[in-house]
Chain A
Amino acid sequence: MKFISTQNRRTLITVFLVLAIISEMGAYVALTPPPTDQFFQFYVLDKNMLAADYYPQNNTNLLLDSKISWYLGVTNLMGNVQLIEIRLKLGNETTIPPNDTTDTPASAPELVAFDRALMDNETWTLPFDWSITNVTTTTGSAHILTVQINNQTYQISDWSALKGYNFRLILELWVWQGDTNTFEFGWGNSAERRTAWLQLWFNMTNIGPPP
């Protein structure tokens, strides 16, 4: 042990502290995941899983009972498990769409909601088959009375459009908020909030069965 006494104690303590700090910094970096941008992806695809032919023959003027097959997709990139809800709303030309600035949802009535808990980095692909099964026309307006979604028939009280033009389906992504214990439109905190929604327009001017 003689050689230790010949060394400068301060130098040794400095060496130890520098090595300890470097090692602990390495340990901290190894144990702490890097911060990532937190968001959801929300999309709708056609029956071929493409963002192309959403309607039969690419014609947005739908016929009665013509089945339309889409896929709704949500990817959770929030960094933890999230409970989400896709809300389907029925709109027309006068419907106020969701507002990304004020984070308010669409004013249209909600028809159905789909809930799912998603792991981090998990994508949920939901088959979404729908068709208009009953329509009536009164005073120049087309009224959609029943819609079939994923083999479930839904009665609708008031969904109309002038001459059958500019119906739309609005899909909103709602996320469960642990602090309020409710689903809220969008995600994030009061300082930075984001929303995700989609809308697809169609017409119903030729009321009749598919050829």
Chain B
Amino acid sequence: MKIFKWLIVTATILIAIIMITPFYGRAQISLTLQPGFGQAITAINNAEAAGAYPNEILPLVALLNRALDLNQKASTLQLNQTGEHDQLISSANQALVNVTNQANDLTTRSAQRAHSNKIITSASGIIIAVLGTFGYVVAAEFYQRYRIKRTFQMKVKRK
């Protein structure tokens, strides 16, 4: 039974090492210029780094592009169209806020999912190692029995 204790201790240590490993890092940025666009693209990049899937990122990028289009459209308006200009800028800012919030939520969910996936994958490796070791023990035992049987196999014949 001592051997199983050793196996359990080793497996526990390996899992602990895997769990305390950091999964992704966030860049520290200074948001002094165009904070809305900067925050939105940074939030999207963080979500990607956290392991978000492309189909989850796509709607955020589409929304960001909508904000860019609104911003572009606002920049082409004449000076006497201030009302429309302000409305477009307001819509663009709202879109950016939505992108940032959704990306932050996605970052949290993706990080948790990536964490779980990593633990499951790592634990699978440990389980495979335990099963492999058990298989080795069983195979070794059968091989030993086979050798003993072959060595001491005798046929008694009456003469």
Contact = CB atoms under 8 A, between A and B. Distances in A.
Interface of A: 1, 3-4, 6-7, 9, 12-13, 15-17, 19-20, 22-24, 26-27, 30-31, 80-81, 83, 114-120, 152, 176, 178-179, 181-182
A16 B129 contact: yes
Contact of B7 (A6, A7, A16, A120): A16
Nearest to B76: A152
A120 B34 contact: no
Interface stretch (B80-88, B104-112, B115-123, B151-159): B115-123
Contacts of A16: 7, 10, 129-130, 132-133
B68 interface: yes
Contacts of B14: 20, 24
25 contacts: A7-B141, A13-B6, A15-B136, A16-B129, A16-B130, A19-B133, A20-B14, A20-B126, A22-B129, A23-B124, A23-B126, A23-B129, A31-B117, A81-B61, A114-B72, A117-B41, A117-B68, A119-B54, A120-B54, A176-B37, A179-B29, A181-B29, A181-B32, A181-B33, A181-B34
A7 B140 CA distance: 8
A207 B120 CA distance: 72
Contacts of A178: 27, 29, 38, 41-42, 45
Given A19-B129, A115-B72, A119-B57, 16 more contacts: A9-B2, A16-B10, A17-B129, A19-B132, A20-B11, A20-B125, A23-B126, A24-B126, A30-B121, A31-B117, A83-B37, A117-B64, A118-B61, A176-B41, A178-B27, A181-B33
Nearest to B39: A181
Q: Looking at chain B's contact residues, is the secondary structure mostly helix, strand, loop, or mixed?
A: helix
Nearest to B51: A31
A9 B3 contact: yes
Contacts, number: 118
B151 to A, nearest CB: 15
B90 interface: no
Contacts of B141: 3, 6-7
A124 to B, nearest CB: 9
B121 A27 contact: yes
Contacts of A115: 68, 71-72
A152 B68 CA distance: 17
Contacts of A15: 132-133, 136
B99 to A, nearest CB: 9
A24 B137 contact: no
Nearest to A80: B48
Contact of A12 (B33, B125, B136, B144): B136
Nearest to A16: B133
A181 B42 CA distance: 10
Nearest to B35: A181
B79 interface: no
A4 B141 CA distance: 8
